[in-house]
Amino acid sequence: MKVVSVKTGRPYDILIERHILDRAGEYIRPLTKAIRAVIVSDSNVAPLYADRVAKSLQNSGFATSLFVFRAGERSKRLAAVEQMYLHFLKHDLTRTDIVVALGGGVTGDMAGFAAATYLRGIDFVQIPTSLLAQVDSSVGGKTAVDLPAGKNLVGAFWQPIRVLIDPAVLKTLPDKFFRDGLGEVIKYGCIRSKALFERLERENAADWIDEVIYECVSIKRDVVEQDERDMGERAILNFGHTFGHALEKLHNYSGLTHGEAVAAGAAIITRISERNGITAQGTAKRLEQLLQKYGLPIDAEFPLTDILPAVRGDKKSTGRQVRFIFLKEIGDCLIQAIPVEEFRTFFGEHHF
């Protein structure tokens, strides 16, 4: 087993071990006096793993119930969270009980937000089952739901009491969603680890996925510990996301996965930053080649004239400027705010 300890205001451990799902109760029980545990999962994941997790929890003395929502980003709304609250009430969930998020990023974000706000906050555990959730969204305590205006606009910082990562579940993940997670994996190489990026170039990530997960989680841990509330350095984790979120919105949160959107966003912004002299020459091409190696997009189906208005509405904008994450070179990045009035010059006059 690999253990990554996260020293935030509310410290917790991330445990990485194959088949840990069957020992979930054993690793959760010492942390809580809870009587009840509600497993929150989606319609794709619940049939595969909910029974295994429930059995493990029951063997450790928890009374369990299961809340299942329709899989997909479109479910990530306040209406679905309200249904969770009603389920919690129906099953007498108290302030000392727990929520267990079993699934991908959407599940973790929604279940975490529900836990953060139900009875003003109850404990929750993350059991991520997608590569994207394992390497990124399950770590760091960001929880949220979407609004029609954009992604993750309503949320809370609420750290889990434990994260249990089982790389063995990835074998059931469709190829498209394995690639989706690799969009975030490549992001980590870009912003913090040239060695990770180069190994992804040389080898097939699937052959050493347990190490990939550990490396990415460790990088995110280091960043989150320095900036738990996302007031500064943590913004580097949004490399590719400003354009990526805009692309997801333009796709109406359907068809284009989050990791694919981040990949395209990273490629687009790196081409632009290289053109503006911020990024070392040749970086964009190298990034594009790696993204293409793993079947990820390097461009958008929309022109910048459509993307930029959505960018202005992103939650990372501050007043009349938008924060972007640019690469200096592979493994090194910076945060730079671009005033909206300078968009024409920076992105190119012909896009306006």
Burial of 303 (0-12, 13-18, 19+ CB in 10 A): exposed
Q: What is the pTM of this model?
A: 0.94
Q: Whole-angstrom Cα distance, residue 254 to residue 258?
A: 10
Q: Which residues of the chain have pLDDT under 50?
A: none
Beta strand 36-42 with 63-69 is parallel
Q: What is the 3-state secondary structure (H, E, C) of the chain?
A: CEEEEECCCCCEEEEECCCHHHHHHHHHHHHCCCCEEEEEEECCCHHHHHHHHHHHHHHCCCEEEEEEECCCHHHCCHHHHHHHHHHHHHCCCCCCCEEEEEECHHHHHHHHHHHHHHHHCCEEEEEECCHHHHHHHCCCCEEEEEECCEEEEEEEECCCCEEEECHHHHHHCCHHHHHHHHHHHHHHHHHHCHHHHHHHHHCCHHHHHHHHHHHHHHHHHHHHHHCCCCCCHHHHHHCCHHHHHHHHHHCCCCCCCHHHHHHHHHHHHHHHHHHCCCCCCCHHHHHHHHHHHCCCCCCCCCCHHHHHHHHHCCCCEECCEEEEEEEEECCEEEEEEEEHHHHHHHHCHHHC
Q: What is the pLDDT of residue 127?
A: 98
Beta strand 150-157 with 162-165 is unpaired
* Number of neighbouring beta carbons within 10 Å of residue 158: 19
Residue 145 corresponds to which tokens in the numbers above? Answer: 């739901």
Residue 74 corresponds to which tokens in the numbers above? Answer: 């479109």
Mean pLDDT of the chain: 95
Question: From its phi and psi, is residue 120 left (phi > 0), alpha (psi between -120 and 50) or beta?
Answer: left
